[in-house]
Structure formats: C-alpha cells, structure tokens
Amino acid sequence: MDILQNAELRPAIRQQAEAFLGIHAHAPLLASVFATQQRYMMGQIFLSLTYKSSDGRVLLAEFLRKVEQFRIASPNTAEAFVREMVREGIGIPAPERKDRRSRPLMVAEAAHVMMRRWMAIHLHTLDRLDGGARAATLSTQPDLLPILQPRVVDGILQSDVCIRPSGTFALFSWLNDGGLLMDRLIAGLTDTRERASQVATALSSYTQLRTGLAISRSHLTRKLHAAEAAGSLGWTGARGRSTLWVSRGFIAEYDAYQAEKLAIVANSFAATGTGI
C-alpha cells in the first residue's frame, strides 16, 4: 500500500490528529511525560523493553544502553526521564531481588492503557486507508499489543524520518507538547483536500493554540515566528487575532512523518501473522 498516494490519507490523518489530542485530554499528566520527541522515543523504548521482558521488569542499565545506542538522549537525561516516570507514578520500582544494584522498574497499568489507545489509533487510520480490520483484531486479542509494540519501536528506531525529523516538523517536535501543537494545527484544517499553497485553519488566536498544552505564550510565540520566517505558517491579518494558515510544505512534512510511521505499524502488524 502506497500510503502517501492514498486518496484518503489527508482526512484520515486529520482524524488521527484529533484522536491524539483526545488521548492528551483524557490523561494530560500521563501524556505530558512523553511531551517532546525525545521523551516520546524514550517512553516507547521503555515500554518495548517491558513487553520484551519475561516478567515485565526493565533494568535501568538496559534502558540506558538502548537510549545511548540510538543516540536518543544522554545518560543523564535518560535517568532524569526515569526519575520523572517514577515520581508521576508511571514507573514503579519492582520488588527487589538479591542484587539491589539492578534497580528494576515496572510500568503502571495506565501507561499500558495509553499505549493500547495509541496503537489502536494508528490501526484505525490504516483500516480507513485499505478497509482492513486491524483495530478490531487488537481489540479482541489483548495479547497482541506486547508482540506488536516492540516490533513497531524497532522499526521506528531504524527510521531517520521518525527519530530525526527535519524542517518545521523538527522545530516543533522538540518543543514541550510540540507534537500535540502540530496535531492541533492539522486537526484545525478547514479543508483537508485543499491544494492551495496556504491552507486555512479554524484557529485564530494564541489561546486556541496553547489551551491545555504545557507551552508558555512566549515560547509558543518564538517558535511560531521561526516557522513563519520559514514560510511554514502565517496569519491572514494581525498575529494572534486573525485566521492562522499552514503551508502545503508543512502539511507535506507532517504527512511524510505520519506515513512513515503508519508504514512501520502496518509492516509490524503484518509480521505478527494476524492478517489485516
């Protein structure tokens, strides 16, 4: 399936963006732990190690090695991420064994629930593109997630498009809640099939852009100005008091990232042998 050439891609991705925003609205504290590209990748890696483990335990040293192997973050940053997971109740110290230095951790049930929703959203998008029944399969086979998620993460880690995005996408993806900000821009498109160089959104103020997100007004303004200077977005009139538009180029960047990720999910699902 050529995802980028699929006629349903644009409306399907807009629907997917709305679903991502729904996850955040349902569990903002949990979602905030994975709020940047770097933290999102560390969270995915940690969960994949959990699913690969025979007893659900993840050793800190094992996690740090994986993060370092793919140059996701420094050891100090990765350790700080784990401490935050524990502080927020997402990571749970596992019952101690003989060697206390191993520092094993487990993941709270809420994180598994969020990952199931994340996976289901992508499977729904793929099903819309080709008429498959992947999401229904995940729903009826709860043991599929621990098999599927590590395959997806392994694929993502091999993709420069996914772990090292470029352009305006990269500008926002490393911003706190930047991925959600981009989802809001895409979900706000007034015409998903518009082919003009500038596509209007339903957004017309800074408040609409940052409501519910952990982004300060000043930080948001700086990033928007940088994106505007690159021609990726702009306002039809006064900044923050008129309709916001996004460029076809930025939409293409977002599409390419999502299509790459969807292809990885599709291939990973197919590799489980459960069909579509």
pLDDT at 120: 98
Rounded to two decimals, what is the model's pTM? 0.93
Confidence at residue 96, expressed as pLDDT on a 0 to 100 scale: 67
The predicted pLDDT at position 102 comes to 65
Architecture of domain 167-254: Orthogonal Bundle (1.10)
Which region, left, alpha or beta, applies to residue 67 given φ > 0 means left and ψ of -120 to 50 means alpha? alpha
Query: Helix crossing, 9-26 with 109-130: angle to 10°?
Result: 160
Whether 64 contacts 103, CB under 8 Å: no
Query: How high is the pLDDT of residue 28?
Result: 83
* Domain covering 3-164+259-271 assigned CATH 1.10.10 in the classification: yes
Mind listing the pLDDT tens digit of every residue in the chain (276 residues)? 899 999 999 999 999 999 999 998 888 878 777 788 899 999 999 999 999 999 999 999 999 999 999 999 999 999 999 999 999 889 998 876 655 556 789 999 999 999 999 999 999 999 999 999 999 999 999 899 999 999 999 999 999 999 999 899 999 988 889 999 999 999 999 887 767 899 999 999 999 999 988 888 898 999 999 999 999 999 999 999 999 999 999 999 999 999 999 999 999 999 998 876
* Size of the chain in residues: 276
Q: What pLDDT sits at residue 103?
A: 76
CA 269 to chain centre: 18
Domain boundaries, the chain: 3-164+259-271, 167-254
Tell me how far apart the terminal alpha carbons of the chain are, to the nearest angstrom. 12
Give me the pLDDT at residue 31, please.
79
199 is written with which tokens? 């596509």
Looking at residue 101, what is its pLDDT?
53
**Residue 122's pLDDT is what?**
98
What order do you get walking across the sheet with 91-93 strand by strand?
Answer: 58-59, 104-107, 91-93
